[in-house]
Structure 1
């Protein structure tokens, strides 16, 4: 295994992660970050999203740790084995349920095979986009450590998640470099 710190790949979900979202804040504060930019954030097409994620992973100079939110989690699960082999670990946050939302139907069925790398799936008991039982089923199928948050919504800006220090600690546990400055809470 390489001693090089992995590149962090930020994978936003449907409609992207805007200003103030923890993914955007992390993109701006973590070293060695690549952020996936999709051509169409509103009407996603699985093949295009998977291809763009695959291209972004290929740009990384060594191993990668992926940080996916919502539909980004499902996109990650659809990666072909040759691309997934570059992943050292994954933080999968608030996965989407494409079988419940028509605009995301192209991402169904969701793969239910074990991921070939360590992963942590974080979900909330009151996420409006994916029932926690579905997120738990993903975690079991993917072989992910399951972290259930209470009353955390979709773990985004709307649910009060800005810098999200817990997420940074989970990311660091997967081998990503998280400088002290990124972990420090923002001044009030």
Structure 2
């Protein structure tokens, strides 16, 4: 009897540089220590807001791999992922989409404006059903996306919505480094055990 090969975990960061205490960084280290194959999409060296370049960067990372992959995206990396999925095909077993930003509503001061995001191709954000299982992990007090907007994105993408509670944008600036629930959700995606209804919150680690 042949067993299903283990997926390569591909980390899709947002528009940030490498951050040592970010949960994606810690997750990649923890999975690698456990013997998993992990790849992280590197940040762009040029214009970070260039969506086409972000999508091409993700596509190049995936093209270097063989076999199924499991995507773990955060923030703008979620929007990069759904734009990529609308254009490309790959052996994707599933995607964990953590705290997607609402790029179609004005963001807080200091973030790109709607006009800047539109000019660089980020909007409109694809709303079609993703061609692979996915989980949207949403925060109750994310400054970049309201719970209602996160739920609407999850419905459009055909994702299961997991409510994390008040975790801000799930980043060090919100007081969150380690996020152990990520591994539980990855396990659900990898085992095809994503059976939670929209709006359900699984038991497990939060924050």
Normalised-by-shorter TM-score class: 0.7 to 0.9
Contact 1:16/1:41 (<8 A) preserved: no
Between the aligned partners of 2:137 and 2:144, the Cα distance in structure 1 is 13
| Residue 20 of structure 1: aligned partner | 21
Equivalent residue in structure 1 for 2:79, among 64, 69, 74: 74
Tell me which moved more, 50-59 or 12-21. Answer: 12-21
| Residue 12 of structure 2: aligned partner | 11
Once superposed, which parts of structure 1, at least 4 consecutive aligned residues long, lie more than 4 Å away?
Answer: none
Does residue 133 of the first structure (1) align with residue 148 of the second (2)? yes
| Residue 180 of structure 2: aligned partner | 165
Between the aligned partners of 1:127 and 1:42, the Cα distance in structure 2 is 25
Does residue 96 of the first structure (1) align with residue 101 of the second (2)? yes
C-alpha deviations, 1:51-99, integer Å up to 9, x for none?
A: 1101111112110000000000000001155734421100000001222
Deviation at 1:38, TM superposition (A): 2.5
- Equivalent residue of 1:89, what SS? strand
Between the aligned partners of 1:45 and 1:124, the Cα distance in structure 2 is 26
Deviation at 1:131, TM superposition (A): 1.5
Tell me which moved more, 163-172 or 41-50. Answer: 41-50
Larger Rg: 2
Contact 2:99/2:138 (<8 A) preserved: yes
| Residue 123 of structure 1: aligned partner | 138
Between the aligned partners of 2:25 and 2:86, the Cα distance in structure 1 is 28
Deviation at 1:47, TM superposition (A): 0.4
Does residue 33 of the first structure (1) align with residue 48 of the second (2)? no
| TM-score, with length taken from structure 1 | 0.86
- Equivalent residue of 2:187, what SS? helix
Deviation at 1:168, TM superposition (A): 1.4
| Residue 149 of structure 1: aligned partner | 164
Does residue 51 of the first structure (1) align with residue 56 of the second (2)? yes
Structure 1: tracts of 5 or more residues without a match: 177-184
| TM-score, with length taken from structure 2 | 0.78
Between the aligned partners of 1:22 and 1:41, the Cα distance in structure 2 is 24
